[in-house]
Amino acid sequence: MARELLPYQIAERSIIKKYRKQLWNPFIAAVKRYALVEPGDKIAVCISGGKDSMLMAKLFQELHRHSDVPFEVIYLVMDPGYNEMNRAKIESNAKLLHIPITVFETDIFDVANNADEHPCYLCARMRRGHLYRKAKDLGCNKIALGHHLNDVIETTVMAMFYSSQLQGMMPKLHSQNFEGMELIRPMYCIREDDIIAWRRYNELSFIQCACRFTENCTICDNGGGGSKRQEVKILLRHLKQTNPDIEKSIFNAIHAVCTETFPGIRKSDGDHSFLEDYEARRGE
C-alpha cells in the first residue's frame, strides 16, 4: 500500500514530476546559463511570502538536496512591518511547505509611509539594502530574488514606455554598495502562468502585496490593480492572441542586443533598479 504524502511532499513531487518541464528545467537552465550558483556560495533565498518567492524556496531545496555543487542556503524573510494576518500567513505557509525560515524585522513600512515624497521608491531601496546587510551579516555572498520571466519582459517594456529607456532586468548583479555581494534571479526563465498553475494544483494561497497602501488586497490570486505593470500585462496578453511567441521574442531580444545600432549607449548604473527609478518618477 502506497504511503500517503504530506502537502509539502506533494508540492515537491509536483515540481519534479508534473511541472518538471515548466518549472524545474527552466530553473536549472537559468542557474547554469548565468552561473548563478557556484561552489562555496552561501545564498540567502529572500522570501516575501508571495507565490514566486515561496516556489523559489522549494526549487532551492531541491537543488541543494541533489546538486553536485557544494553550496549553503538560508531562507530569509524580512518583515518590513507586516500586519498580523500577513505575518501569520507567511509563517504558516513556511511550516506547511517545510521551509526553515529565518525572520528578521525592520521598520521599513513606518519610514516609507511617513515619507513626504516617493514612499514606494524609498521602500524598494530600503528593502534591498536591509536584505543585503542581513545576508552579509549571516555570512552570505548572494541574495536570490524571485523575479520570473514575465517580470523580465514587463520591465523591459515598461522601461521603454514610461521611462524612455532601453533597459532590462539582469539575472545577476554585483552590488555597488555591499562589497562581495551579488543579487541573483534564478527564476529568470520561468513563466508566471506556470507558477500560478503549480500553486493552484497544490491548493496553496500566498500573500499578494503586503504594502500598507494595498492591504485590502493582500491575499488574492494574481492581482495588480491599476498599476502600469498591470497595463503592460494586459497589453502583452492582447498581443499574444495574434502572436503566441511575443513573450519569447521579447525575452530573446534582450539576449541579442546590437549596441552599435543605438545612438544613446551609456554605461549601466549597476544595482540601481529601473523599477525604483520609475516609481520615483511616477511620484508614488
pLDDT digits (tens, 9 = 90+) for 200-218: 999 999 997 666 555 444 3
Q: Are 194 and 20 in contact (CB under 8 A)?
A: no
Q: Which helix (H) or strand (E) holds 11?
A: helix 7-16
Confidence at 244, pLDDT banded by 50, 70, 90: very high
Quick: pLDDT tens for 27-76. Answer: 999 999 999 999 999 999 999 999 999 999 999 999 999 999 999 999 99
Output the pTM of the full model. 0.87
What order of strands is seen across the sheet that includes strand 42-47? 101-105, 72-79, 42-47, 142-144, 182-184, 172-174
C-alpha grid cell for residue 8?
A: 509539502
C-alpha grid cell for residue 228?
A: 502600469
CA distance 131 to 221: 26
